[in-house]
């Protein structure tokens, strides 16, 4: 993340676990597990920057680069639909909506960030949907949810910017569930948070071989 630029997909990592986010986006570390692999498979179905489809007045574009200079945000929209004066952003997810059949919080944040970029780039007010592969259906982000998520994207971006400037890796939240995290072996959440991941691994190795 040079020049404190923030990738849109990093927002989900940040709200899931700030420590995981720092390991991935500050130290360049990553490990997959079955959940991340499943998500990657779903995205391969739509990630084609050269794909454009036209159906009467509807034009569909895949893997659309977007940005918002105000927040140093940039990323890729899975799908953007242009229908005359109407623009719709669609993000593809492997999971499913929550028990109230509305967009999950983490997904809503990512979609809202994409929508904010599109609104700024095209001077419009777009619609946004999450397509959940598990139920094979789109769920719309309501106007009320948009207002809430747009505000939270701004707050999260400001917090990320502060951490990038201080270069201090956040500690694990006491309530964080690390059981299904692909990064647990690298994270070592019980070790000294002031050390980089490489230093923590070295310290652990030295202790085991003392």
Q: Residue 163: which H helix or E strand, with range? A: helix 143-166
- The Cα 35–Cα 52 span in angstroms is 29
The answer to whether residue 171 scores a pLDDT higher than 90 is no
User: In the prediction, which pLDDT does 54 show?
Assistant: 79
Tens digit of each residue's pLDDT (9 = 90 or more) over 22-71? 888 888 776 544 344 344 444 455 555 556 777 788 999 999 999 999 99
User: In the prediction, which pLDDT does 115 show?
Assistant: 98
- The Cα 183–Cα 30 span in angstroms is 7
Between 208 and 35, whose confidence is greater?
208
User: In the prediction, which pLDDT does 33 show?
Assistant: 41
Q: Which two tokens stand for residue 18?
A: 């700030």
Mean per-residue pLDDT, 83-94: 93
User: In the prediction, which pLDDT does 39 show?
Assistant: 47
Residue 158 DSSP code: H
User: In the prediction, which pLDDT does 37 show?
Assistant: 39
User: In the prediction, which pLDDT does 143 show?
Assistant: 95
Tens digit of each residue's pLDDT (9 = 90 or more) over 101-160? 899 999 999 999 999 999 999 999 999 999 998 899 999 999 999 999 999 999 999 999
Which residues have a Cβ under 8 Å from the Cβ of 104 and sit 6 or more positions away?
93, 95, 97, 98, 130
User: In the prediction, which pLDDT does 87 show?
Assistant: 98
User: In the prediction, which pLDDT does 44 show?
Assistant: 56
Q: Residue 80: which H helix or E strand, with range? A: strand 73-83
Backbone angles phi, psi at 28, to 5 degrees: 70, 35
Domains defined along the chain, listed by start: 2-168 (3.90.320.10)
Between 193 and 86, whose confidence is greater?
86
- The Cα 42–Cα 124 span in angstroms is 29
User: In the prediction, which pLDDT does 185 show?
Assistant: 66
User: In the prediction, which pLDDT does 1 show?
Assistant: 47
Between 195 and 98, whose confidence is greater?
98
């Amino acid at each position: 993340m040079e020049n404190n630029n923030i990738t849109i997909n990093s927002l989900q990592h940040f709200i899931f676990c700030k420590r995981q986010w720092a390991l991935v986006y500050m130290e360049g570390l990553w490990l997959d597990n079955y959940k991340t692999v499943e998500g990657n498979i779903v995205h391969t179905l739509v990630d084609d920057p050269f794909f454009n489809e036209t159906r009467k007045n509807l034009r569909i574009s895949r893997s659309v680069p977007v940005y918002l200079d105000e927040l140093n945000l940039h990323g890729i929209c899975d799908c953007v639909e242009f229908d005359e004066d109407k623009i719709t952003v669609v993000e593809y997810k492997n999971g499913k909506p929550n028990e109230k059949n509305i967009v999950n919080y983490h997904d809503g944040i990512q979609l809202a960030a994409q929508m904010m970029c599109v609104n700024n780039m095209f001077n419009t007010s777009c619609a946004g949907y999450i397509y959940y592969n598990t139920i094979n259906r789109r769920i719309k982000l309501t106007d009320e949810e948009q207002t809430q998520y747009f505000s939270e994207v701004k707050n999260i971006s400001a917090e990320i910017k502060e951490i990038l400037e201080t270069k201090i890796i956040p500690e694990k939240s006491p309530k964080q569930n690390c059981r299904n995290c692909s990064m647990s072996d690298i994270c070592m959440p019980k070790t000294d948070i002031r050390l980089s991941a490489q230093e923590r691994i070295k310290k652990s190795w030295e202790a085991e071989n003392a």
